[in-house]
């Protein structure tokens, strides 16, 4: 096995030479693996995946596939497209498998293992956030492993909508995880451990589907941060229920219906409990005025970024 530079064996780089060594290594890995990282479209939904065999097997997340035998369009970083199908889906772990149907010798990457990984290891997250963009190079994020168990892998790599199904690489350029869920913070995200694919490979390859297919999320399209008076909104998605209701960045949500809100978690939980289709009255403070706005909770699938 090739040796890593001393920069990657340290908890943090301690010199300019360390930083230069890390930069060089990251560029080398990204150039080597990015041709195999694909944007994925299943019906109207987008995600990411990574090709792991010359004949076109693609690892992704189960929620990107949704179910077996669906039509898929794969787009490579050079803009080349290929058709394929979804195969098996393990919704318990969120692992999914796809196959390119078009003939070709497809660019692919090596698959690694997590047996020797440890907390603090440096990792690279690649994907196509927001879908394929011919004007943008492959998006690469550097981070570290912050939680590691047999059934769970969490890093501080920044992920956003459209990253789901993309690969997580170790510093040897091997896939060790697949992007699965985005937490409340964009810098604490969950990945499917690569061992899950090994353990269930035959079922995935046969096109089986099993596990809990989670229901759609309640969604109003607003995120916030804790505030002494409640939850201060720092993001309102364009054309979302929140935007249509007149909510704005900077609004402080003090109550949802008659429930007092103490921080972002309380706000998120109240939206989730209401469920899709419910009407909520948000009591907010805007500048020095207190007003009430009505918003209808909508349904949003579990692809990509999850915001209430």
Tell me: pLDDT of 292 over 70: yes
Burial (Cβ within 10 Å: 0-12, 13-18, ≥19) of residue 203: middle
Give pTM, 2 decimals.
0.70
Tell me: pLDDT of 142 over 80: yes
Coil/strand/helix, residue 103 = coil
> Measured at the alpha carbon of residue 276, what is the angle toward residues 164 and 60, in degrees to the nearest 5?
15
DSSP state of 254: E
Return the minimum-mean-pLDDT range out of 108-117, 131-140, 172-181: 131-140
Rounded Cα–Cα distance for residues 293 and 308 (Å): 16
Which structure tokens are listed for 52?
A: 């792991």
CATH for the stretch 1-214: 2.40.10.120
Tell me: pLDDT of 212 over 80: no
CATH fold of 217-300 reads Pdz3 Domain (2.30.42)
Tell me: pLDDT of 301 over 60: no
Rounded Cα–Cα distance for residues 37 and 59 (Å): 10
For residues 218 and 271, is the Cβ–Cβ distance under 8 A? yes
pLDDT in tens, 155-196: 999 887 778 999 999 999 999 999 998 765 556 789 999 999
- Mean pLDDT, the chain, whole residue set: 87
Write down the pLDDT at residue 3. 58
| Residues linked to residue 48 through DSSP beta bridges, in sequence order | 39
Tell me: pLDDT of 101 over 60: yes
Nearest to 87 by CA among 55, 109, 124: 55
Rounded Cα–Cα distance for residues 62 and 301 (Å): 12
pLDDT band at 223 (very low <50, low <70, confident <90, very high): confident
Report, as an integer, the average pLDDT of 52-78: 95
For residues 42 and 86, is the Cβ–Cβ distance under 8 A? yes
Q: Where are the domains of the chain?
A: 1-214, 217-300
Higher-confidence residue: 276 or 81? 81
Tell me: pLDDT of 121 over 60: yes
Report, as an integer, the average pLDDT of 209-226: 78
Give the position of tokens 């930069």: 23
Rounded Cα–Cα distance for residues 102 and 85 (Å): 10
Q: In sequence order, what are the residues at sequence separation of 6 or more whose Cβ sits closer than 8 angstroms to the Cβ of residue 121?
A: 144, 145, 170, 171
């Amino acid at each position: 096995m090739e040796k890593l530079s001393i920069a990657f064996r340290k908890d943090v780089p301690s010199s300019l030479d360390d930083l230069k060594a890390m930069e060089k290594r990251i560029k080398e890995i990204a150039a080597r693996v990015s041709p195999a990282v694909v944007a994925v479209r299943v019906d109207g939904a987008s995600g990411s995946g990574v090709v792991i065999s010359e004949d076109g097997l693609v690892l992704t997340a189960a929620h990107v596939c949704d179910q077996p035998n669906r039509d898929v369009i794969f787009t490579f970083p050079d803009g080349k497209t290929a058709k394929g199908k979804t195969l098996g889906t393990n919704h318990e772990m969120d692992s999914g498998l796809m196959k390119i149907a078009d003939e070709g010798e497809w660019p692919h990457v090596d698959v690694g293992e997590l047996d020797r990984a440890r907390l603090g290891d440096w990792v690279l997250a690649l994907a196509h956030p927001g879908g394929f963009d011919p004007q943008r190079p492959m998006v690469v994020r550097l981070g570290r492993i912050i939680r590691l168990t047999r059934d769970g892998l969490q890093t501080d790599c920044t992920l956003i909508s459209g990253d789901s199904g993309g690969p997580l690489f170790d510093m040897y350029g091997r896939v060790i995880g697949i992007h699965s869920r985005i937490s409340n913070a964009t810098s604490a995200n969950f990945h499917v451990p690569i061992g899950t694919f090994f353990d269930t490979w035959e079922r995935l390859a046969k096109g089986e589907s099993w596990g809990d297919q989670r229901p759609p999320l309640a969604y109003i399209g607003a995120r916030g941060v804790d505030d002494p008076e409640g939850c201060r909104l720092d993001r309102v998605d364009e054309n979302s229920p929140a935007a249509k209701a007149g909510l704005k960045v900077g609004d402080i949500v003090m109550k949802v219906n008659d429930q007092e809100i103490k921080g972002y978690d309380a706000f998120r939980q109240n939206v989730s409990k209401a469920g899709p289709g419910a009407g909520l009255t948000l009591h907010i403070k805007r500048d020095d005025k207190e007003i009430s706005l009505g918003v209808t909770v909508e349904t949003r699938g579990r692809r990509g970024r999850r915001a209430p």
